[in-house]
Structure 1
């Protein structure tokens, strides 16, 4: 699925050069689950941006199914993101003036799905995450956990191959965190997704079948014995 080869990413901050990633080598197989942990500023979000085709490396290559993302045009990268990759963020990123169903539908617009099919698929996705009775509710009428469920439905409605989650439980209490992680784990297994999760939460990291720790742009992967 993913092959990262000596990936380096540098940013300029004034006269200072920031090495966000430094010679990262990583393989993520189809259907794999990888949890990424590390300190703030260590490179976690930069790594996720590379996997999500949201940024390009300064050096090295990021390939998905044998295609080097760095060599694609912006238009082709947009198509890869729209069709292949689902994103879930800590802040939910829901549009406040749209209902739960309408928020989920937004993921299907770039794919050219017709309105009637969009409504049907969005309703089915919300049913899947336990919100079949909240289709017309605005984000402000939903709890934090429910809003994150809408965000997960939005990520999954386009039937992506990859699910990337950046601190998806960071704004949730402990009980809701466990509910959301249980939901994500179930969806990963049921759908055969390639699932990459960035988290600060050590309790989540301890349960990961495969853990990548990133610090100062350098990555170390630990395989767990089942």
Structure 2
């Protein structure tokens, strides 16, 4: 479970101080599916970075299962990210010179898993997202939707506790958007993940059980009946 208390984030933009987050309190239970929405510059991606341990708050606490990510050393924070948190980004972030299976395997290298098991787990993860016939294809040989499926497989192959997605359908057309959302929702249900997603797409937000709206660094959570 995530527990955020009094989380602020400030940074300088020229002579101006930007308050990206202004005292955010938020509880995200295990297995929750939360969509984060809000205007550009409102703090959506900043909040996701806090949840993923990719950035530290100016003040406040960001706890994952009772551990305050903001207080961990960089080495321990890297370990938490490697073991417990999967990331999916808008731009896929695949390594262009590696094939699909090799890209997925990269998530297992920091865990010290042996090569044979890495290959087996990567192949199984790709099969779970419908890409078992694309193991040896390079990113350039796949569509945008297929590349995002590889990215999802890479995020899930390490069996994380939380899956964080930042505009994962932003580079896809409507049909591919629906396809990727079907994959993500299936993975959420099958793996019992805590699934947190930033999106500007209102059609996606309408289907989410909980929506957190951020405006000017403050947050409002709406729960569907």
TM-score tier after normalising by the smaller chain length: over 0.9
Q: Quick one: distance in 2 between partners of 1:178 and 1:70?
A: 35
Q: Write the distance in 1 (CA, Å) between the matches of 2:25 and 2:85.
A: 21
Tell me the matched-pair count: 225
Matched position secondary structure for 1:26? strand
Is 1:102–2:96 an aligned residue pair?
A: no
Alpha-carbon distance in structure 2 between the residues aligned to 1:167 and 1:191: 21
SS in 1 for 2:222: strand
In structure 2, the residue matched to 1:35 is 35
* Cα offset, 1:104, TM superposition: 0.2
CA distance in structure 1 between the aligned counterparts of 2:134 and 2:92, rounded to whole angstroms: 16
2:138 corresponding residue in structure 1: 138
TM-score, structure 1 as length reference: 0.99
Aligned alpha-carbon RMSD (Å): 0.5
The answer to whether residue 7 in structure 2 is matched with residue 7 in structure 1 is yes
Q: Which runs of 4+ in 1 moved over 2 A?
A: none
Shift of 1:15: 1.5
String of CA shifts for 1:156-182, please: whole Å, max 9, x gaps. 000000000000000001011001101
Verify: 1:74 aligned to 2:74, yes or no.
Answer: yes
The runs of 5 or more residues in structure 2 that have no matched partner are: none
1:24 maps to 2:24: yes
* CA displacement at 1:123 relative to structure 2: 0.3
Cα distance in 2 for residues equivalent to 1:53 and 1:168: 19
Q: 5+ residue gaps in structure 1?
A: none
Aligned to 2:204: 204
Shift of 1:61: 0.5
Counting only pairs closer than 5 Å after superposition, residues 147-166 of structure 1 correspond to structure 2 as: 147-166=147-166
In the alignment, structure 1 residue 58 sits paired with structure 2 residue 54: no
Aligned to 2:175: 175
TM-score, normalization by structure 2:
0.99
**1:104-119 equivalences in 2 (<5 Å):** 104-119=104-119
